[in-house]
Structure 1
């Protein structure tokens, strides 16, 4: 099997924008709870076309770099928001779509205080924590019919350490 090498870059909202939203502290906020809490509202919109939004917990095995990815998936009718619950550093592999085929993959590393909301119909790798306990809150479409397409790659995407991912 052939291999394509990816070097991950730190997760920044502008770089990740074609694939979804980075959810993190910053920007405008209002004080609530008698002035003891900052609320950063509406940081990302959830999509659940033809279904209902639910909150699930995912427990994923921690991986190490180099990491080999041989499968991408997408959810055509809903976004997926991954919120690390244990400060997990997370590898996100995403790709553009070309007539149903994932192309031009990229790798990003999120620190433990960043969540991502992957846009509907965006190709992405499986949940890949690089540290922590691998526990995530996932907010996504939970009913309304099939919402998963998997694409076995004809090669391995190998993500090497570097670019802030050590």
Structure 2
């Protein structure tokens, strides 16, 4: 593909199975290990994501406030965090989009896959998974982020070999 080529990208529903090559779905449902605690007052959805800060890093918690994106939206770049995972957990209860590609050396537009995430579903990108930055829909939305702090550069950004138009 050349830089003038565009590909149509349609977001599919987020499921654990479909997202598994890219990381974890963070969701309280019957598909997750869960059990009752606190004298029967609380259901614990246990170990939902593999948080990986890397050998020399530590896990940190932040809040990102994302402006809404309007569709159709052109995807022309991707980023990845090679030293650690990065989890996004919506706090505003609104749907959002993720675009991912496998953790290969350089993604192409043909490698992209888009998911529509519901407001009760979070994602955890495995270390090295290519993804597009935060894409809130409809309104300004807050996300709890768990990712890595530590020495070294942990963000690679690449331009794609063309554009994908997310519809």
**TM-score w.r.t. structure 2 length?**
0.90
CA distance in 2, matches of 1:101, 1:28: 35
Decide which moves more: 136-145 or 31-40: 31-40
Unpaired runs of at least 5, structure 2: none
1:51 equivalent among 54, 57, 63 = 57
CA distance in 1, matches of 2:103, 2:16: 20
Q: Which residue of 2 aligns with 1:95?
A: 101
Q: Which residue of 2 aligns with 1:108?
A: 115
Deviation at 1:154, TM superposition (A): 3.3
- Conserved 8 A contact 2:33-2:47: no
Alignment RMSD:
1.3
Q: Which residue of 2 aligns with 1:163?
A: none
Structure 1 runs of 4+ off > 6 angstroms?
none
Residues 133-148 of structure 1: pairs in structure 2 closer than 5 A: 133-148=140-155
Change (3 A) 1:145 1:39: same
CA distance in 1, matches of 2:130, 2:94: 22
SS in structure 2 opposite 1:57?
strand
- Conserved 8 A contact 1:88-1:133: no
Aligned residues: 159
